[in-house]
Chains A and B, each alone.
Chain A
Amino acid sequence: MADTAIPCAEGPIRSMELAIIIALDVLNGAASLVLLCLGLAVIFGMMRIINLAHGEFVMLGAYATVISANAGVNIWIAMLVVAPVFVGIVGIIVERCLIRFLYGRLVDTMLATWGLSLFIIGLVTTVYGNTIKGVPTPLGGFSIGAYRSSYYTLFLVAMALLLLALIYAVLRYTRFGLISRATMQNPGMAAALGISPSRVYMATFGIGAAITGLAGGLLAPVSGVVPTMGAAYVAKAFITVVGGGSAIIAGTASASMLFGFINQIGAYFTTPVFGEVTLFLSAIILIRLLPQGISGRFFKRNL
């Protein structure tokens, strides 16, 4: 999205370069969506809770990164360590003080987390004021022919892939993953086997929040960091997760690819605003055609 690729027809090399740039844009769009949605998908897929304060978790991650980086912490540590740890702790506090009273009440959790989202926006505005903060984008840029792109774009794509692989591995191959999947399927049975579902829920929510915080940290250099920035993300993330369905990895990855592709192509042929509109329209059509989401139809047995 950072690149304004101008269509031009000066022979096959130019169009080749253009194609690469567009492909990069599409990859970037999909990777951003994956990063944004994973935390929400973990919480929704595992716990059947829709966290409407998701956007504010992203915002908190971004703030944690910007503030610690400006205080002299190395930018990479600020992004990859400070942001997820901080938001993960916030997530655990939120789960203990709010969410745990509302399990099984889908609409009430949505309302309470919506309240939470307003509360966090208000709090951050009160403390830091309503101004745009930012950090410079690390890594430089490179050019493909006449077009320029940045290495940070590639880094985001790599991080998205890494996170997907990591979550899959944790859920599929570790003891913790096994326990949490069992708890989600049948809390009563898991409790009978000596596992405390309440602690598993707490940990899952905390991990979901930490992933979201990491996304916030990673996106901080490429977006304006303001208290209200979450609103722009929560709707998109919500739509993508629901469109993806309940399989965390397969659903999120496929829906993010699809929507990211549609968004960038739509933006390329019209304007960024109408790119978003086409994304929303295609989401509506997708939900109409596949009411259980993509993974409800195609990847039924997957994670």
Chain B
Amino acid sequence: MPAVVRGALNLAALALAVIVLVALPDLVEVFDLMQITLFAAMGVLALSLGFIWGFGGILSFGQTAFFGIGGYTYAVAAINLGDSTGAIALAICVPAIVAGMIGYFAFYGRISDVYLGVITLTVTLILFDAVNSTAGDEYRIGKAALGGFNGMPSVPTFNLPGDPSTVLDPTQGWYATGGALIVVYGLLRLILGSRFGRIAVAVRENEVRASLLGYDPRIIRLAVFVIGGAIAGLGGALYTNWGAFVSPTIFSLSLSAEIIIWITVGGLGTLIGPVIGCFLIQYLTSQIGSQQTFNSNLILGAILIAFVLLLPKGLIPTLRDLVMKAARALPRRGTAIEASEKLVGAK
């Protein structure tokens, strides 16, 4: 695809996304809007793993660790500060710092592949265990009690920046969450278009070659991982804000698995794919949840197996390939001479 067309398509998609963001509250009921707000918060999480896995080649089994740290940081900070602005900033910074520490530990220890998967998974399990056992009254951070397995109820939700008395209503909450999703998507597009983004992809493609060209794969991987951690943290804050509640299930293995399913379904190596996969699967799970015939695990498992076996690239790349094929086939059909020349050339 020529760069101009690509750029135009990107801008058109962005415009469409903004239109949807603005128009949606008038089109759907409040209940559905709340539901879609949750999807958007999870979409941010999907983007974080879609970025580090699809473009950094880092498969983290524990992206929920950063999601959960973000959620808890937001809750603790919002209760203590009484204002959500600083809490959101902290919910981005703290997971980024934790990601930096884990990433430094892993990438500079030359740990890769499955071993990195084990480490991220283990960190999530540790957090789950540790937070679960903070039920006692002595586990407080400032005014905020961590609450162990009961979680932290009535967390203050988002307010207008710098004005704690004006709490956002569901429509404004949607603007904040959906807007955050669009902003994160745009930022990731910019990062991927930049020099750094290209180097990151180069490292994913061939680590040895990238390092022979003078780039340090370790620092590149670390940076990608930290960006992913920060985004997941933001997703956690959005999630906590949505329900005004956070509990240790945020660290659960099943959520980690679900993100991976979103990305496999939507398409690894794209940015829009994980978001679409996330919306589709979450819509599906909520539909399954409202009827009794089928168990949601059964359906999710079948979907994941089907995609790995039959559509390993995922929806978006498969669709894109089909469209590109069709686009290439169209002008060729016009001139029979060109086609016959191609045939001759092929022989």
Q: Please list the 9 inter-chain residue pairs (A to B) with the smallest Cβ-Cβ separation, ordered nearest first.
A: A122-B298, A119-B301, A115-B304, A118-B301, A122-B297, A122-B295, A115-B305, A112-B308, A118-B297
Q: Are A98 and B299 in contact (CB under 8 A)?
A: no
Q: Are B301 and A120 in contact (CB under 8 A)?
A: yes
Known: A276-B129, A291-B115. A111 touches B260 (CB 8 A): yes
Q: Are B301 and A116 in contact (CB under 8 A)?
A: yes
Chain B interface: which size bin?
Answer: 35 or more
Known: A273-B132, A277-B130, A287-B115. A119 touches B297 (CB 8 A): yes
| CB-CB contacts below 8 Å: B235-271 with A | 253-254, 257, 260-261, 264
Known: A111-B260, A111-B264, A115-B305. A121 touches B114 (CB 8 A): no
Q: In the complex, what residues of A have CB within 8 A of residue B105's CB?
A: 284, 288
| CB-CB contacts below 8 Å: B100-114 with A | 105-106, 109-111, 113-114
Docked pose: A277 CA to B132 CA in angstroms = 12
Q: Are A288 and B111 in contact (CB under 8 A)?
A: yes
Q: Are A117 and B301 in contact (CB under 8 A)?
A: yes
Say yes or no: is A239 at the interface (Cβ < 8 Å to chain B): yes
Q: Are A50 and B114 in contact (CB under 8 A)?
A: yes
Q: Is the interface of A mostly helix, strand, loop or mixed?
A: helix
Return the CB mask of A92-111 against B: 1 if under 8 Å, else 0.
Answer: 00000010011000111011
Q: Which of A102, A243, A271, A291 contacts B308 (CB 8 A)?
A: A102
**Nearest residue, chain A, Cβ from B59:** A107
Return the CB mask of B129-141 against A: 1 if under 8 Å, else 0.
Answer: 1101100000000
Say yes or no: is B312 at the interface (Cβ < 8 Å to chain A): yes
Q: Are A114 and B298 in contact (CB under 8 A)?
A: no
Q: In the complex, what residues of B have CB within 8 A of residue A120's CB?
A: 301
Question: Could you write out 30 A-B pairs with CB less than 8 Å apart?
Answer: A98-B305, A102-B309, A106-B114, A111-B264, A111-B304, A112-B305, A114-B257, A115-B301, A115-B305, A116-B305, A117-B301, A120-B301, A121-B298, A122-B296, A122-B298, A122-B299, A122-B300, A126-B294, A126-B295, A238-B121, A239-B118, A242-B114, A242-B115, A273-B132, A277-B126, A280-B125, A283-B122, A284-B119, A291-B109, A291-B111
Say yes or no: is B33 at the interface (Cβ < 8 Å to chain A): no
Say yes or no: is A123 at the interface (Cβ < 8 Å to chain B): yes
Say yes or no: is B98 at the interface (Cβ < 8 Å to chain A): no
Q: Are A274 and B133 in contact (CB under 8 A)?
A: yes
CB distance from B216 to the nearest CB of A (A): 19
Docked pose: A153 CA to B20 CA in angstroms = 62
Q: In the complex, what residues of B have CB within 8 A of residue A126's CB?
A: 294-295, 298
Docked pose: A243 CA to B261 CA in angstroms = 26
**Nearest residue, chain A, Cβ from B299:** A122
Q: In the complex, what residues of A have CB within 8 A of residue B295's CB?
A: 121-123, 125-126
Return the CB mask of B270-308 against A: 1 if under 8 Å, else 0.
Answer: 000000000000000000000000111111111111001
Q: Are B305 and A235 in contact (CB under 8 A)?
A: no
Q: In the complex, what residues of B have CB within 8 A of residue A6's CB?
A: none
Q: Which of A125, A280, A287 contacts B111 (CB 8 A)?
A: A287
Q: In the complex, what residues of B have CB within 8 A of residue A281's CB?
A: 126
Q: In the complex, what residues of A have CB within 8 A of residue B297's CB?
A: 118-119, 121-122, 125
Q: Are B308 and A111 in contact (CB under 8 A)?
A: yes
Q: Are A101 and B109 in contact (CB under 8 A)?
A: no
Q: In the complex, what residues of A have CB within 8 A of residue B126's CB?
A: 277, 280-281
Chain A interface: which size bin?
Answer: 35 or more
CB distance from A127 to the nearest CB of B (A): 10
**Nearest residue, chain A, Cβ from B109:** A288
Docked pose: A119 CA to B300 CA in angstroms = 7
Known: A106-B113, A239-B122. A112 touches B304 (CB 8 A): yes
Q: Are B119 and A287 in contact (CB under 8 A)?
A: yes
Q: In the complex, what residues of B have CB within 8 A of residue A115's CB?
A: 261, 300-305, 308
Q: Are A277 and B301 in contact (CB under 8 A)?
A: no
Q: In the complex, what residues of B have CB within 8 A of residue A276's CB?
A: 125, 129
Q: Are B309 and A98 in contact (CB under 8 A)?
A: yes
Q: In the complex, what residues of B have CB within 8 A of residue A291's CB?
A: 109-111, 115
Say yes or no: is A164 at the interface (Cβ < 8 Å to chain B): no
Docked pose: A291 CA to B59 CA in angstroms = 17
Known: A107-B59, A119-B302, A288-B111. A277 touches B129 (CB 8 A): yes
Say yes or no: is B176 at the interface (Cβ < 8 Å to chain A): no
Docked pose: A106 CA to B297 CA in angstroms = 23
Docked pose: A198 CA to B253 CA in angstroms = 33
Say yes or no: is A167 at the interface (Cβ < 8 Å to chain B): no
Return the CB mask of B302-329 against A: 1 if under 8 Å, else 0.
Answer: 1111001100100000000000000000
Say yes or no: is A222 at the interface (Cβ < 8 Å to chain B): no
Docked pose: A119 CA to B297 CA in angstroms = 6
CB distance from B189 to the nearest CB of A (A): 25
CB distance from B165 to the nearest CB of A (A): 40
Q: Are B133 and A273 in contact (CB under 8 A)?
A: yes
Q: Are A238 and B118 in contact (CB under 8 A)?
A: yes
Docked pose: A33 CA to B110 CA in angstroms = 28
Docked pose: A101 CA to B106 CA in angstroms = 31
- 15 more A-B contacts (CB under 8 A) besides A283-B118, A287-B115? A50-B114, A111-B264, A111-B304, A112-B304, A115-B302, A117-B301, A119-B301, A122-B296, A122-B301, A238-B118, A242-B114, A274-B129, A276-B129, A284-B122, A291-B115
Q: In the complex, what residues of B have CB within 8 A of residue A283's CB?
A: 118, 122
CB distance from A107 to the nearest CB of B (A): 6
CB distance from B7 to the nearest CB of A (A): 32
CB distance from A267 to the nearest CB of B (A): 12
| CB-CB contacts below 8 Å: A118-158 with B | 118-123, 125-126
**Nearest residue, chain A, Cβ from B111:** A291
Q: Are A118 and B121 in contact (CB under 8 A)?
A: no
